[in-house]
Amino acid sequence: MDDFSSNRYYELFSKQKLNQYAIGSRSYKERLKTLNKLQVAIEETYRVQIQEALRKDLGKPVVETELTEIYAIIGDIKYAKKHLRQWMRKQQVETPLALLGSSAYIKYEPKGVCLIISPWNFPFNLTFGPLVSAIAAGNTVIIKPSEMTPHSSKIMASLIGDVFNEDHVALVQGEVEVSTELLKLPFNHIFFTGSPHVGKIVMKAASQHLASVTLELGGKSPTIVDKTANIDKAAKKIMWAKFLNCGQICVSPDYVLIDESVKTEFISSCKKWLQAFYNDNPKASDSYGRIVTDKHFERLSSYLENAKTLNAKFEVGGKMNRTSKYIEPTIISGLKPEAKLLEDEIFGPILPIVTYKRLDMAMAYINSKPRPLALYIYSKSKANTNTIINSTRAGGTCINNSILHYTNHNLPFGGINNSGIGKSHGFFGFKAFSNERAVMKQHTFGVTELLFPPYTGFKEKLARLTVKWF
């Protein structure tokens, strides 16, 4: 249901604006208490409701919900709780000789009133993940989840209402108009997760108030499989990663670039693993999801039509059912460069296979496209792996696996240019929602005072000395 009223948003925003200093000055222990409250609500009170909502919105199997939504958020909360005291501490920095008699530190202070706009593919994970960073950093927050997963949004609204006062954290539901109205408000920081297309709209709106932004976007994440790779293991991991959440993951392997000499072996291993994962019948399998909306189903089926028109080879799958929004795990080779599957981010259970003759050709292909969020490498060769990493650019990379770099809280998560701006997770998320305030304190007489006007010949010599020696 749309919660659409610009006055209501202005009121909410104003309440949070007034309250931000009280929230921001809460102690470590108080922030910890808030994180604990959120953890209990997710882990205990709402756990079953979260599972049910995701089953209704995305046909998500319970195991996937547990791992990719509940475990992911609880992991974020636990990590933040473990490190928060240290993150909140003043970070002392060195003092250069020229500033003798002073000391300095960095204070991570809350940015203020923040907006989180989240997508539908992991509705809980991608809403609560940034929220954990935002509240750990001491901000107030307005959240706008995706309209495409209404059951999840409803549960999140209820959970947020239970845990927070609305002058600290509030959730508003609705479609594009709601985001548009919210984006008119002078937020201190906007954290957006979604498509590059909408990311540009968000950045433009943010520029009106010079709000800082974190943009977690998408794009085509390539997977290179070279001829030294363990082909069977690579196929197993890629089949898992590609068809998890029906391919509707920002870091899903979008397409495979494979040495032409190992393509046949790879495809036959892929077939074997798909049969094993889904008992040779994904449609009847509890382990396989569905496409989120009719619109996305139509988009994906148009890609398959386009591939057929261009005489591509369907190595696996291709069957669809409009009513249940089912698309079979599908692998396609022999695509012409102009195929839609090689142009748009797929975000669905279709895997194009592109062959290369030489590794440098694979890298040139990747570098001819916008910079990806993730680049995966399957190889036993250290030299090949290093060459690929050094000759390409990507938000993140996983070697001999896919997706899992996302789950390590010690790594920054985010894209580069078209795939995103800024980083999240762990300390990087805390930093995204903090202003790094530079504080310098003069204790005694400062050397710089010797250089105050009037500028005598002695001071000129002193200035030269400073440039030379300090």
Ligand X SMILES: NC(=O)c1ccc[n+]([C@@H]2O[C@H](COP(=O)([O-])OP(=O)(O)OC[C@H]3O[C@@H](n4cnc5c(N)ncnc54)[C@H](O)[C@@H]3O)[C@@H](O)[C@H]2O)c1
Q: Active-site residue among 69, 181, 216, 315?
A: 216
Looking at the DSSP bridge assignments, the partners of residue 333 are 313, 353
Told to check if 120 binds ligand X by CB under 6 A, we report yes
Nearest residue (beta carbon) to ligand X: 218
Task: Tell me whether residue 140 or residue 179 sits nearer to ligand X (CB atom).
Answer: 179
Size of the site for ligand X (CB under 6 A): 26
Write out the two tokens for 302: 């148009």
Which residues from 132-171 bind ligand X, rule CB under 6 A?
Answer: 144, 146-147
Separation CA 132–CA 255 (nearest Å): 32
| Exposed/middle/buried for residue 282 (C-beta within 10 Å: 0-12, 13-18, 19+) | buried
Q: Should residue 425 be labelled a site residue for ligand X when binding is judged by CB under 6 A?
A: no
Interface with ligand X (CB under 6 A), residue from 216, 254, 259, 315 = 216
Name which of 99 and 416 has its Cβ closer to ligand X.
416
Told to check if 258 binds ligand X by CB under 6 A, we report no
Q: Does 64 bind ligand X (CB under 6 A)?
A: no
Min. distance of Cβ 174 from ligand X in angstroms? 8
**Quick one: which of 45, 95, 102, 195 contacts ligand X (CB under 6 A)?**
195
* Nearest CA-CA partner of 405 in 421, 420, 426: 426
Stretch that binds ligand X, among 155-163, 192-200, 320-328, 435-443 (CB under 6 A): 192-200
- List of residues 6+ apart from 443 with CB closer than 8 A: 101, 102, 103
Interface residue with ligand X, options 345, 374, 409, 430 (CB under 6 A): 345
Helices then strands, each counted (H, E), the chain: 16, 18
Minimum Å gap between C-beta 177 and ligand X is 9
Applying the rule CB under 6 A, the residues between 385 and 424 that interact with ligand X are: 415, 420
Neighbours of 87 (CB within 10 A): 17
Q: Is 250 a catalytic residue?
A: yes
Which range binds ligand X by CB under 6 A, 8-16, 50-58, 105-113, 176-184?
176-184
Contact call for residue 106 and ligand X (CB under 6 A): no
- Cα angle value 403/240/247 (rounded, 5°): 75
Phi, psi of 264 (to 5 degrees): -65, -45
In the complex, what is the shortest distance from the CB of residue 53 to ligand X, in angstroms, rounded to a whole number?
16
**119 near ligand X, rule: CB under 6 A:** yes
Residue 217 interacts with ligand X (CB under 6 A): yes or no: yes
Instruction: Mark 1-39 as b/e (b = at least 16 C-beta within 10 Å).
Output: eeeeeeeebeebbebbbebbeebeebeeeebbebbeebb
Answer yes or no whether residue 111 interacts with ligand X by CB under 6 A. Answer: no
For 421, other C-beta atoms within 10 Å of its C-beta total: 18
C-alpha of 21 from chain center = 28
Q: How many other β-carbons are positioned within 10 Å of the β-carbon of residue 186? A: 13
d(CA 105, CA 437): 8
Which residue in the list 114, 250, 270, 398 is annotated as catalytic? 250
Which helix or strand (DSSP H or E) is residue 176 part of?
helix 176-182
Choose which of 250, 270, 346, 351 interacts with ligand X (CB under 6 A).
250
Q: Among 121, 133, 140, 392, which residue interacts with ligand X (rule: CB under 6 A)?
A: 121
| Active site amino acids | 216, 250
> Which residues of this protein are in contact with ligand X, per CB under 6 A?
117-121, 126, 144, 146-147, 176, 179-180, 193-195, 198, 201, 216-218, 250, 345, 347, 373, 415, 420
